[in-house]
Amino acid sequence: MDISSVRRTKGRGRLFDSVIDTIGDTPAIRINRLAPEGVTIYVKAEAFNPAASVKDRLAIGIIEAAERDGSLKPGQTVVEATSGNTGIGLAMVCAAKGYPLVVTMADSFSIERRRLMRFLGARVVLTPRAEKGFGMYRKAAELAEAHGWFLARQFETPANAAIHEATTAQEILADFDGQRLDYFVTGYGTGGTVTGVGRVLRRERPETKIILSEPANAAIVGSGKGQARGADGAPAQSHPAFEPHPIQGWTPDFIPLVLQEAIDDALYDELIAVSGPDGMSWARKLAQQEGIFTGVSGGATFALAMQIAERAEPGSVILCMLPDTGERYLSTPLFEHIAEDMDDEERRISESTPGYRMPA
């Protein structure tokens, strides 16, 4: 076979000393079939990180900042509250660096997330779903105090926004150097992405409008009500506007201190709420019409990007964050319409030829 016209790869031009060195440099991928005519949409596909989510950046940022300042000692146990992706990222980083990890997580989050963390060697301590994110947060703090463990504090640590300022934002600047970029669209969990990227885009690309989203039934930032905090910036209680929502990884039941900077310093131009069903619908469309596999949070962010595209002027360019992979959601409503057995059409295809057919 003549391979002169076959798609080729060249390697990255470097060898890696550790899996953690592969974090970042995720691709911005053009949307070809779903984007409205006259508007260009790119998605930044964070599933290309080694543990398949944007939180790999946060995990390495927290651990290496703590190593530098001496707050994390060799062999010390790390503990953190997480809905899943930060825990998976921390489990990967801690495995590579030799730190034990304990994760606290409300039992409402997907089973595959806790199994992935355990597969990577972490211990997962479940907390009652009725206590929401605040309950798992307080449990992590209790364990750290009782056992002398290092508390990662993803919701408050300066290392969170700093890693996005140093990596995510710089990748965006490089990828769109000399190119138009009218909108940057993201949701928030801790707020690290919008805060870190917002710092840089406000300075380097002030023409780029930053659009932030949150769940329609848990619009705690949009409520205008402030967050009660302790002296260390940690939440003192659940936010009164919070309701449980299906967009896992987005919007805990409090406003994180990391996000507060984006609110106080106006690091976004517009806040728009998105519903969970819309997020699931667009995640399925991305998979089936673009071949891009993302979870509910990615679908919800893309739903907002499509809203912006419909009203944007011709020629506009939009970049949308896709935080993770759809494989984190196999046991959730995102996959509830995906059957395990053949449907009628698949059975008709099977029966259209005589051999190797399943019995009726």
* In a shared domain, residues 204 and 139: no
Residue 122 lies in a domain: yes
Residue 349 lies in a domain: no
* In a shared domain, residues 221 and 326: yes
* In a shared domain, residues 143 and 220: no
Q: What is the CATH number of the domain that holds 321?
A: 3.40.50.1100
* In a shared domain, residues 40 and 59: no
Residue 218 lies in a domain: yes
* In a shared domain, residues 219 and 312: yes
* In a shared domain, residues 135 and 213: no
Residue 108 has a pLDDT of 83
The structural domain count of the chain equals 2
Distances (CA, A) of 120 to 93, 114, 127, 291: 10, 10, 20, 28
Residue 5 lies in a domain: no
Count CB-CB contacts under 10 A for residue 14.
7
Q: At what angle do helices 276-290 and 296-311 cross, to 10 degrees?
A: 90
| pLDDT by 10s per residue, the chain, length 360 | 787 789 988 888 999 999 999 999 999 999 999 999 999 999 999 999 999 999 999 999 999 999 999 999 999 999 999 878 999 999 999 999 999 999 999 888 888 889 999 999 999 999 998 888 888 889 999 999 999 999 999 999 999 999 999 999 999 999 999 999 999 999 999 999 999 999 999 999 999 999 999 999 999 999 999 999 998 898 899 999 999 899 988 998 899 999 999 999 999 999 999 999 999 999 999 999 999 999 999 999 999 999 999 999 999 999 999 999 999 899 889 999 899 899 999 999 999 999 887 777
Distance CA 325, CA 292 (A): 9
> Could you give the count of Cα atoms lying within 13 Å of 295 in the half-sphere of its Cβ?
26
Residue 195 has a pLDDT of 98
Residue 185 has a pLDDT of 98
Residue 242 lies in a domain: yes
**Residue after which a domain boundary falls, among 116, 151, 186:** 151
Looking at the whole model, is its pTM more than 0.75?
yes
Residue 9 lies in a domain: no
* In a shared domain, residues 239 and 325: yes
* In a shared domain, residues 180 and 282: yes
**Residue after which a domain boundary falls, among 122, 151, 180:** 151
* In a shared domain, residues 44 and 61: no
| 230 CB-near residues (< 8 Å, 6+ apart) | 236
Residue 321 lies in a domain: yes
Residue 100 has a pLDDT of 98
Residue 10 lies in a domain: no
* In a shared domain, residues 190 and 321: yes
Residue 131 has a pLDDT of 87
Residue 248 has a pLDDT of 86
* In a shared domain, residues 172 and 143: no
Domain region containing 90: 55-151
Which are the catalytic amino acids? 55, 297
Is residue 163 within 8 A of residue 196, CB to CB? The reply is: yes
* In a shared domain, residues 173 and 266: yes
